Amino acid sequence: MEVTVKIFRYNPEKDARGNYVTYKIEAEPTDRILDVLEHIKGKTDGALSFRRSCAHGVCGSDAMRINGRNRLACKVLVRDVGANITIEPLLGMKVKKDLIVDMEPFFNNYKKMTPYLVNNSPLPADGRERLQSPEQRARFDESTKCILCAACTTSCPSFWANDEYFGPAAFVTAHRFIFDSRDEGASQRLMVLAETDGTVRCHTAYNCTDACPREIHITQAIGDLKMAMVTGKLE
Amino acid sequence: MANVHQFEVIVVGAGGAGLMAGLYASKSAQTAVISKLYPTRSHTGAAQGGISAALGNYEEDKPEWHMYDTVKGSDYLGDQDAIEFMCNEAIDAVLELEHMGLPFDRTPDGRISQRPFGGHTNVETGKPVRRAAHAADRTGHMILQTLYQQCIKSNVTFFDEYQVVDFIMADGKASGIVAIELATGEMHTFHAKSIVFATGGHGRIFEVTSNAYAYTGDGAAILYRRGIPLEDMEFFQFHPTGIYKLGILITEGVRGEGGVWINGKGERFMPKYAPHVKDLASRDVVSRAIITEIKEGRGVDGKNYVYLDIRPETVNKFAKEDGRTNPDGSPYNLTAETVLKKIPDIIDFCRVYLGVDPVTQMMPIQPTAHYTMGGIPTNKFGEVVVDDKGTTIPGLYAAGECACVSVHGANRLGTNSRLDIVVFGKHAGLKAAEYAKSAQWTNLPGDADSAARSDFEALRNGSGKVNAYDLSNEMKEVMFREVGIYRTEKDMQSALEKVREMQTRYKEIRVSDTGKIFNTELLNAWELGNMLAVAEVVALSALNRKESRGGHSREDYPERDDANWLKHSLVTRKNGKAEISYKPVVITKYQPKARVY
């Protein structure tokens, strides 16, 4: 089938501002949007730039706006979006070139969450694993799925309004550790989450949940965090 | 020469091996990790099923059995000293990951859960053993995330999105590397005492592959150009379970949970090929079985694929026939709920890419290029070894998929790659730091980046008669068809000639993007040069080895030939030509015998 692909282009070495370029190409309904981009880059316009690596939705490189919604280009097929496709960079991040955005602020917010297990207690005397029941493990299972693609954070109206907002992805990271029964860092993380740019800016728009390519119930996870802050309990 | 940095240890690559090396080297030496991707984008994150260790959390298991299975799985080409070392370190390595916070699935009594995987057995009974410690079907993702988290905790220095482009030696020692900063196009030179390559494999030289775009063999190609040999490059693993056409991996864990192979006639075919472990046979055995079924007309609808069936009714029917039991002795019984819980990502892949629901439908599967067994020759400390006498290059290390220790020999067992990156990443990091602490600084040559500069200039100034994308696809198609699962003299000779001819055409490429900022076209073109270099070595090594062993299956030499070929091959570039030499396999406990599953 013939598809019409409109892509946001911006090369800071040449362009004063971004513009849209339209390409018409042949594609299979089962092609990934990433395949379409590769084809355009390979055959028509070598300068078209985007990030990609695993090509099957686990590395988080190719989050972008596809027909107005944040998606991974390798997890959307042509048949999912039809013959008219618009591809744009993630919103709310500085565009470095074409579909490539500046990820540094995003990773800085991630780092504010103390993104590692905090446990200063002695290890089990036999040197074996710390015990954790399947139920305790299940409590934070969803938030371990996060691939840090930024689809959620850049879909959030609160983030669009305020660059300093830590954003849903950072909260998912906080959730992953706070609800891990082996972790002892909840109180310090909850202090950070209570800052002005923390969870208080979440107005439950649910855009993040819709945007997540890993189907994490992010708004629910943020709700868990808010509840923990109010009650002081991790349940 | 602008942008010169100095670190005692430089680690190139930020997947599991690179992060582990960075983490351990940085404990005592000034260390930086440079990576062409953000670390969390690395291909370790795509690994699904588990990491092997004889923890024995469900049933008796021993490092000796793990060693035996790995030796046998390698078709006796693995070096047994290194395999023993890895299997002995495995238990502590997995426990260390747990202590770091890795969220393994749990047994009912709270220990790390384990599942069976192809080729992992109780050596005394011959029955499958649960050895793969797992976190759902995203164990690699959790390893990558956990190690990156630990690097943040330890304040490891990262240069993210820096592409390594050259390796510099001075006075016979490692002296530095050259890298391009993707965001600016600037070239940087890193002066170092120790350099650890952890750049991953080269599965992108094949058309149908489970590997990431990033898997272009950069580290192997750079060192090969600089005169370092590449070992056992003929051995590439074709994983039996790729999603039809796309090559995306379906974890072997599906077979561990009881998944069954079904051909186009609706028959379970693995008992014919592996009467004892059946559907859980080693990867090379299953890949060949699938291709045989297809060749003999039993593919689905006459096409080149078969089915993997994880539907509970199928699994339970055959589990009953096989007498499979749970750890407590009760009959094995799989439910749809368990399938959803244990392999959620696989279910998702099938739904997204195929529109198939594995709980109610069979999955269309074909073998996919998956893992690089060969690579940069090292010993068990990650030191790069350049000949058959154990000669090392001071300050040069390699670990992970780009390296060949060799623990995987002719065929890697599932879950051993995760173990490999964790164990040998750690030891390469430790050794690199130890050496850096005692060594003097080399004199970094003043024109260290000039070779890389001229390589990149050439890509900007070619005639433009050849399109890089087309050339790349042509190479992949030739390599998959002619140096794939079944190989013949005629095909491999043809592939070798074609790849060499493509190397000539490669010089005609001209990159159209003249800019500096994120010039991904330029970098892709450069990566293609690496793939062509590596593809030549793969084809040459494969053509040269006149036997079948593990992942190298020749129709014209169908038997393993220990008398002539129980040896590692080395390909070294000398005066622009590839030369083949050999080194012996280290055999300690287990003499080669027929490999039957």
Taking CA–CA distances from A107, the nearest residue in chain B reads B38
Q: Which of A57, A78, A101 is the last residue of a domain?
A: A101
Average pLDDT, chain A: 97
Q: A221 and A111 in one domain?
A: yes
Q: Over 80: is that where the pLDDT of B135 sits?
A: yes
- In this structure, what is the dihedral angle of CA atoms A86, A59, A193, A152, given to the nearest 10 degrees? 20
pLDDT band of residue B522 (cuts 50, 70, 90) is very high
CATH number of A41's domain: 3.10.20.30
* B443, B434 Cβ separation under 8 angstroms: no
> What confidence tens digit (pLDDT) does each residue in B482-519 have?
999 999 999 999 999 999 999 999 999 999 999 999 99
Report the catalytic residues of B. 283
Q: Do both A203 and A223 map to the same domain?
A: yes
d(CA B11, CA B19): 8
Q: Does B248 touch chain A (CB under 8 A)?
A: yes
Structural domain of residue A126, as residue ranges? 104-231
Is the CB of residue B521 less than 8 Å away from at least one CB of chain A?
yes
Task: Evaluate whether B86 touches A96 at the Cβ level (below 8 Å).
Answer: no
The residue among B284 and B146 whose pLDDT is bigger is B146
Q: Which of A43, A73, A101 is the last residue of a domain?
A: A101
Q: How far is B544 from chain A (nearest CA, A)?
A: 32
Residues of B in contact with A47 (CB under 8 A): 512-513, 515, 519, 521
**B250 at interface of A, judged by CB pairs closer than 8 A:** no
Enumerate residues 488 to 517 of chain B having a beta carbon within 8 A of any beta carbon in chain A.
Answer: 511-513, 515-517
Query: Is pLDDT above 80 for B327?
Result: no
CB-based contact B43 A42, cutoff 8 Å = no
The count of domains in chain A is: 2
Residues paired with residue B369 on neighbouring β-strands, in sequence order = B209, B238
How far is it, in rounded angstroms, from Cα B526 to Cα B509? 10
- Quick one: A138 and A179 in the same domain? yes
Closest approach of B95 to chain A, Cα-based (Å): 6
**Residue B35: Cβ-neighbour burial (10 angstroms; 0-12, 13-18, 19+):** buried
Q: What is the pLDDT of residue B329?
A: 85
For chain A, the residue count is 235
For A59, nearest residue in chain B (alpha carbons): B41
Both A119 and A38 in a single domain? Answer: no
Cα-based angle A55, A59, A63 (whole degrees, multiple of 5): 75
How confident is the model over B192-200, as a mean pLDDT? 98
Is A182 in Cβ contact with B349 (below 8 Å)? Answer: no
Query: What per-residue confidence (pLDDT) applies to A123?
Result: 96
Query: Over 90: is that where the pLDDT of B251 sits?
Result: no
Same domain, A93 and A109: no
DSSP state of B455: H
Q: Is B17 a residue whose pLDDT tops 90?
A: yes
Task: Please determine, for residue A233, whether its predicted confidence score (pLDDT) is greater than 90.
Answer: no
B contacts of A132 (beta carbons < 8 Å): 106, 110
- Contact status, residue B259 vs residue B308, Cβ threshold 8 Å: yes
Look at residues A79, A101, A123 and tell me which one is the last residue of a structural domain.
A101
Same domain, A43 and A158: no
* Number of Cβ within a 10 Å radius of residue B295: 11
B468 touches chain A (CB under 8 A): yes
Residue B328 has what pLDDT? 82
pLDDT in tens, A167-196: 999 999 999 999 999 999 999 999 999 999
Confidence of residue B30 (pLDDT cuts 50, 70, 90): very high
pLDDT digits (tens, 9 = 90+) for A26-63: 999 999 999 999 999 999 999 999 999 999 999 999 99
**C-alpha triplet B27, B31, B34: angle, nearest 5°:** 135
Does A20 share its domain with A134? no
Cβ of A53 and B516 within 8 Å? no
What pLDDT score was predicted for residue B195? 98
Which tens digits make up the pLDDT trace of A119-153? 999 999 999 999 999 999 999 999 999 999 999 99
Q: What is the rounded distance in angstroms from the CA atom of residue A174 to the CA atom of residue A166?
A: 11
From A63, A48, A188, select the one nearest B40 (Cα to Cα). Answer: A63
ipTM over 0.90? The verdict is yes
Q: What is the pLDDT of residues B392-430, one digit of tens each?
A: 999 999 999 999 999 999 999 999 999 999 999 999 999
**For the segment B33-51, what is each residue's pLDDT rounded down to a tens digit?**
999 999 999 999 999 889 9
Average pLDDT over residues A192-220: 97
From chain B residues 277-336, the ones with a CB under 8 A of any chain A CB are none
Inform me whether the pLDDT recorded for B476 exceeds 90.
yes
The mean pLDDT of B452-461, rounded to a whole number, is 96
CA distance B23 to chain A (A): 14
Strand partners, B584: B567
Q: Which of A49, A59, A115 sits opposite B212 (nearest CB)?
A: A59
Cβ contacts (< 8 Å) between A180 and chain B: which residues?
101, 103
Residues of A in contact with B23 (CB under 8 A): none
Q: Measure CB to CB from residue A13 to each of B92, B153, B517 and give the nearest one.
A: B517
What pLDDT shows up at residue B563? Answer: 97
Among B89, B113, B138, B141, most A C-beta atoms within 10 A, so best to mutate, is B141
C-beta atoms of A115 and B149 within 8 A: yes
Q: Which parts of B101-160 fold into alpha helices (H)?
A: 139-153
Percent of chain B clearing pLDDT 90 (strictly above)? 89
**Per-residue model confidence (pLDDT) at position B387:** 97
Tell me which residue of B553, B548, B563, B542 sits closest to B230, measured CA to CA.
B542
With a CB cutoff of 8 Å and minimum separation 6, the contacts of B252 are B49, B117, B118, B239, B241, B283, B414
The pLDDT score that the predictor gives to residue B84 is 98
- Cβ <8 Å between B99 and A103: no
B213 lies within 8 A of chain A by CB: yes
Question: Do residues A37 and A68 both lie within one domain?
Answer: yes
Whether residue A166 has pLDDT greater than 90: yes
- A43 to B469: CB separation less than 8 angstroms, yes or no: yes
- Residue of chain B whose alpha carbon sits nearest to that of A131: B110
Contact present, B53 and B133 (Cβ < 8 Å) = yes
Name the average pLDDT for chain B: 96
- Cβ distance B520 to A50 less than 8 Å, yes or no, reads yes
Higher pLDDT pick, B97 / B252: B97
Q: Quick check: B1 pLDDT over 80?
A: no
* pLDDT tier at A235, thresholds 50, 70, 90: confident
Contact B236, B283 (CB under 8 A): no
Task: Residue window 26-55, chain B: list those with CB within 8 Å of chain A.
Answer: 37-38, 40-43, 45-46
Distance from CA of B585 to the nearest CA of A (A): 34
On whether both A86 and A45 belong to a single domain, the answer is: yes
- For the segment B359-379, the average pLDDT, to the nearest whole number, is 96
B260-262 and B363-372 beta bridge pairing: unpaired
pLDDT band at B284 (very low <50, low <70, confident <90, very high): confident
Q: Both A121 and A206 in a single domain?
A: yes
| pLDDT at position B69 | 97
Residue A234's pLDDT band, with cuts at 50, 70 and 90, is confident
How distant, in Å, are the alpha carbons of B287, B293, B481, B485 from that of B263? 13, 7, 22, 18
| pLDDT score of B585 | 98
pLDDT at B218: 98
Q: What distance lies between CA B16 and its chain's CA centroid? A: 11
pLDDT at B219: 98
Whether residue A96 is found in the same domain as residue A115: no
CATH number at residue A108: 1.10.1060.10
Question: In chain B, which residue's Cα lies nearest the Cα of A75?
Answer: B352
Return the amino acid letter for B265.
K
What is the per-residue pLDDT for A221?
A: 98
Whole-number pLDDT of residue A46 = 97
Instruction: Please tell me whether residues A87 and A111 are part of one structural domain.
Output: no
**Can you tell me the mean pLDDT for B536-550?**
97
pLDDT for res B596: 85
Closest Cβ–Cβ partner in A58, A103, A176 for B45: A58
Instruction: State residue B573 phi and psi, 5-degree precision.
Output: -90, 120
